[in-house]
């Protein structure tokens, strides 16, 4: 008599990078996996839109920690390069200051030292020391903080005492950076890495200076065709492994039986039973909408503030600008940099003079814009939604001011000039739009900020204490925001589920 082995079932809510990574990890362990996604596509905040020959990535715009994805594909018996053509970026980012200084950030140490020597010779050695410092950070925190479930006090106590001090959690990022560099341009450049997870360099622990190592030493890549190709590659691998993906399919409720979650109720009334439920939605939003009102889980993450949000413009530019690179940052005066973060995190108001990030994928993929044109994705950091500013009633006036004062990029660099009449705005995405579209937490892009010395220990865990069968993945869960960390979050959630 033939017996058929029954494999455990998992339901994953959300086909973002965390959900897809979790599905791949479980499917390779022979789980029956179903992903439900309320959008009509994979990727979550990672998306792509097109209009009149222009194409823009929306959401993430660069890939770091390539090894995370190489390992995910390798353990599934595949090669990443068969699914994705990752192009190394050089320069990684071109930085512009209003006083005329330009710097091309690169993973080439000699090239960086040569550039720094031209405007601040004494900071060449400082740069070498700083990169050694952030490398030590990466070596110490990588395993306990990034590549496993959320660390606790016991994990910290297991570290050698010398490593505990190397974590450098008692200083702010800005304090540590200023202790290394003399030139304010370099301080501002490295302070900027705090925004990679939606935080302030004046509040976040110096531990987060590890982000500089991840990009400036390990390198950054752009997937040919757009960053959205990563979502499509993960979707393809998941389908090959037998994962079922249901688009335009929303979860209504996670059903609990005593202290165990055992099914997901869909909006159409159907129920999907499961041994494990992995929630790739924002943790705060999920707790408010997917769990019974009687469910109360006293988590430390309730004391964490949301990360910053953003204002993004998709711009059609009927001209080419050879001064610009694939990634560009336009800074204001370094002496006024703190005011931007005070506006965002203390006054909770859109900054008067925000730093601008301009991504132009047509620099690498010429077919992302008509011949002789460029596609600009323009982003400025904004406060999360709150009572101090209403985007529905005050947003239009701010956006108009933003277009007039901040898209005149000649104000940011004397070598650059473009008239407002030369470009058109295809789409504007505000914090309110982000909230309405993705159902996040107050329009926050990265879940929770790291504006606390203990943020690494307070971020929501991949499992819920006292409740079995449900796990969290995504930027609002451990280890945090950013494409590779979200993938690691999905992998950690899958491993939590498989270990039970």
Note the pLDDT tens digit of each residue in 6-24. Answer: 789 999 999 999 999 999 9
Confidence grade of residue 297 (pLDDT, cut at 50, 70, 90):
very low
Q: Residue 336 in 3-state DSSP?
A: helix
> CA 477, CA 473: separation in Å to the nearest integer?
6
Task: Read off the pLDDT of residues 480-497 as tens digits, 9 standing for 90 and up.
Answer: 888 999 999 999 999 999
Across 27-129, where does the E strand assignment appear? 32-36, 47-51, 54-58, 86-88, 93-96, 102-105
Q: Are 251 and 408 in contact (CB under 8 A)?
A: no
* Strand 93-96, strand 276-279: pairing: unpaired
The structure tokens listed for 68 are: 């995370």
Q: Do residues 238 and 290 both lie within one domain?
A: yes
Residue 298: predicted pLDDT: 44
Task: Read off the pLDDT of residues 217-245 as tens digits, 9 standing for 90 and up.
Answer: 999 999 999 999 999 999 999 999 999 99
Nearest to 81 by CA among 248, 229, 290, 274: 229
Residue 466: predicted pLDDT: 82
- Pick the last residue of a domain from 163, 194, 217: 217
Q: What is the DSSP string of 34-45?
A: EEE-SSSSSBTT
Task: Read off the pLDDT of residues 173-198 as tens digits, 9 standing for 90 and up.
Answer: 999 999 999 999 999 999 999 999 99
For residue 328, tell me if it sits in a domain: no
Q: Do residues 128 and 203 both lie within one domain?
A: yes
Confidence grade of residue 149 (pLDDT, cut at 50, 70, 90):
low
Q: Do residues 115 and 211 both lie within one domain?
A: yes
> CA 232, CA 86: separation in Å to the nearest integer?
14
Q: Do residues 140 and 190 both lie within one domain?
A: yes
Count of domains for the chain: 2
Q: What is the CATH number of the domain that holds 477?
A: 3.50.50.60
Range of the domain at 289: 9-45+68-86+227-304+459-498
- Pick the last residue of a domain from 217, 235, 254: 217
Task: Read off the pLDDT of residues 416-445 as tens digits, 9 standing for 90 and up.
Answer: 555 455 778 999 999 999 999 998 889 999
Q: Do residues 112 and 164 both lie within one domain?
A: yes
Q: Do residues 262 and 237 both lie within one domain?
A: yes
> CA 55, CA 316: separation in Å to the nearest integer?
10
Owner of token pair 């990443």 = 80
Q: Do residues 181 and 256 both lie within one domain?
A: no
- Percent of the chain whose predicted confidence (pLDDT) is above 70: 88
Q: Do residues 74 and 115 both lie within one domain?
A: no
Residue 2: predicted pLDDT: 47
Please check the confidence at residue 324 and state whether its pLDDT lies above 70: yes
Q: Are 39 and 250 in contact (CB under 8 A)?
A: no
The structure tokens listed for 230 are: 């990563």
Q: Do residues 205 and 235 both lie within one domain?
A: no
> CA 333, CA 471: separation in Å to the nearest integer?
44
For residue 150, tell me if it sits in a domain: yes
């Amino acid at each position: 008599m033939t017996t058929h082995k029954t494999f455990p079932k998992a339901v994953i809510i959300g086909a973002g990078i965390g959900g897809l990574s979790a599905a791949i990890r479980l499917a390779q362990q022979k789980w029956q996996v179903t992903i439900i996604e309320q959008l009509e596509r994979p990727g979550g905040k990672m998306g792509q839109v097109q209009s009149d020959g222009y194409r823009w990535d929306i959401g993430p715009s660069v890939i770091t920690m390539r090894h995370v994805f190489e390992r995910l594909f390798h353990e599934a018996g595949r090669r990443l390069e068969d699914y994705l053509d990752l192009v190394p970026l050089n320069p990684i980012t071109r930085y512009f200051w209003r006083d005329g200084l330009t710097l091309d950030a690169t993973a080439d140490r000699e090239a960086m030292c040569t550039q720094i020597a031209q405007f601040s010779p004494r900071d060449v050695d400082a740069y070498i020391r700083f990169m050694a410092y952030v490398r030590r950070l990466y070596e110490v925190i990588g395993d306990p903080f990034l590549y496993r479930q959320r660390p606790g006090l016991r994990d910290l106590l297991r570290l050698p005492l010398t490593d505990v001090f190397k974590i450098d959690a008692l200083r702010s990022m800005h304090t540590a950076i200023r202790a290394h560099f003399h030139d304010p341009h370099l301080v501002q450049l490295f302070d900027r890495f705090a925004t990679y997870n939606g935080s302030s360099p004046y509040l976040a622990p110096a531990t987060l200076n590890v982000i500089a190592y991840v990009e400036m030493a390990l390198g950054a890549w752009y997937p040919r065709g757009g960053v959205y190709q990563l979502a499509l590659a993960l979707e393809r691998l998941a389908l090959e492994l037998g994962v079922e993906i249901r688009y335009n399919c929303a979860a209504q409720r996670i059903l609990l039986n005593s202290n165990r979650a055992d099914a997901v109720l869909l909006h159409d009334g159907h129920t999907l039973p499961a041994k494990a439920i992995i929630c790739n939605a924002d943790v705060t939003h999920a707790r408010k909408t997917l769990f019974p009102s009687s469910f109360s889980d006293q988590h430390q993450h309730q004391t964490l503030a949301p990360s910053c949000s953003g204002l993004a413009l998709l711009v059609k530019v009927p001209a080419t600008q050879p001064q610009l690179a694939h990634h560009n940052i336009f800074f204001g005066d370094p002496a006024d940099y703190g005011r931007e973060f005070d506006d965002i995190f203390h006054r909770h108001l859109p900054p008067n003079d925000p730093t601008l990030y301009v991504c132009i994928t047509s620099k690498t993929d010429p077919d992302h814009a008509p011949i002789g044109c460029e596609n600009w994705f323009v982003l400025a950091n904004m406060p999360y939604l709150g009572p101090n500013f209403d985007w529905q009633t005050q947003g239009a006036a701010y956006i108009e001011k933003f277009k007039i004062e901040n898209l005149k990029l000649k104000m940011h660099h004397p070598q650059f000039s473009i008239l407002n009449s030369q470009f058109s705005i295809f789409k504007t995405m505000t914090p309110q739009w982000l909230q309405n579209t993705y159902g996040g937490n107050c329009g926050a892009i990265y879940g929770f900020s790291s504006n606390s010395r203990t943020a690494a220990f307070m971020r929501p865990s991949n499992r819920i204490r006292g409740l079995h069968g449900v796990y969290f993945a995504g930027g609002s869960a451990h280890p945090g925001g950013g494409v590779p960390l979200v993938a690691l979050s999905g992998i950690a959630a899958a491993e939590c589920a498989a270990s039970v």
